[in-house]
């Protein structure tokens, strides 16, 4: 018997998974959401940073997620735990800075059909990714770490309320 989870569906919208580098362990509610994404065989776009990116990559590898693309700004990913396809999106500015990596984040947000952002309440890059997805009217599930809950931005009103409550200067 074949495991359907090993067969990706290419015509499904990609999910941009993003989050704070300060978060190294994924809460149970986040694990549940990620398992739903894997079970639905949705393509996943993810960065190569430590923290959330590495933790999510580890789960995706353990669950044999079939359709994952790791984006890097450095030419070679810092983390690619599952040895997935790599997309190089050269950064702008000084290597190693948040601005350098923002170029790849903008590209992933522009390509994604939805977002899953695991946010520590402080990371400007993670918040910028929420804003980028909201600007495109995408569904975004935001894990609000300090509050220990998800906020589902699934309507224009909810996205607008979130953006107003958590303004972002970095784009």
Residues 6+ apart with CB under 8 A from 140: 114, 115, 116, 117, 130, 133, 134, 152, 153, 159
Range of the domain at 108: 20-165
DSSP-derived pairing of the beta strands 44-46 and 139-144: unpaired
Number of structural domains (the chain) is 1
Look at residue 1 and tell me if it is in a domain. Answer: no
Look at residue 65 and tell me if it is in a domain. Answer: yes
Look at residue 170 and tell me if it is in a domain. Answer: no
The stretch 25-52 carries a mean pLDDT of: 97
Range in 22-26, 145-149, 154-158, 167-171 with the lowest mean pLDDT: 167-171
Name the pTM for this structure. 0.90
Q: What is the DSSP string of 66-126?
A: S-EEEEESSSS-S--TT--EEEE----SSTTSHHHHHHHHHHHHHH-SEEEEEE-S--HHH
Look at residue 50 and tell me if it is in a domain. Answer: yes
The answer to whether residue 170 scores a pLDDT higher than 70 is no
Look at residue 11 and tell me if it is in a domain. Answer: no
**Gap between the Cα atoms of 96 and 47, Å rounded:** 14
Reported as a pLDDT band with limits 50, 70 and 90, residue 171 is: low
Q: Which two tokens stand for residue 152?
A: 């589902």
Look at residue 39 and tell me if it is in a domain. Answer: yes
pLDDT for residue 95: 81
The answer to whether residue 1 scores a pLDDT higher than 60 is no
Q: Which two tokens stand for residue 130?
A: 């929420």
The stretch 136-140 carries a mean pLDDT of: 97
User: Residue 112: which CATH number?
Assistant: 3.40.50.450
The stretch 142-162 carries a mean pLDDT of: 97
Look at residue 141 and tell me if it is in a domain. Answer: yes
Look at residue 8 and tell me if it is in a domain. Answer: no
Q: What is the pLDDT of residues 58-105, one digit of tens each?
A: 999 999 998 999 999 988 999 999 999 999 999 888 887 888 889 999
């Amino acid at each position: 018997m074949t495991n359907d989870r090993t067969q990706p569906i290419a015509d499904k919208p990609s999910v941009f998974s993003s989050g704070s580098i300060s978060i190294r362990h994924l809460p149970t509610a986040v694990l549940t959401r990620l398992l739903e994404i894997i079970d639905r065989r949705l393509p996943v776009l993810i960065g190569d940073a430590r923290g959330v990116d590495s933790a999510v990559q580890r789960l995706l590898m353990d669950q044999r997620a079939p359709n994952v693309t790791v984006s890097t700004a450095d030419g070679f990913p810092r983390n690619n735990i599952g040895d997935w396809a790599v997309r190089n999106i050269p950064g702008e500015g000084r290597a190693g800075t948040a601005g350098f990596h923002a170029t790849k984040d903008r590209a992933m947000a522009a390509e994604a059909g939805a977002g899953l952002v695991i946010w520590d309440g402080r990371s400007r890059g993670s918040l910028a990714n929420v804003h980028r997805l909201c600007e495109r009217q995408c569904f975004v599930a935001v894990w609000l770490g300090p509050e220990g809950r998800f906020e589902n931005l699934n309507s224009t009103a909810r996205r607008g309320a979130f953006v107003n409550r958590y303004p972002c200067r970095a784009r």
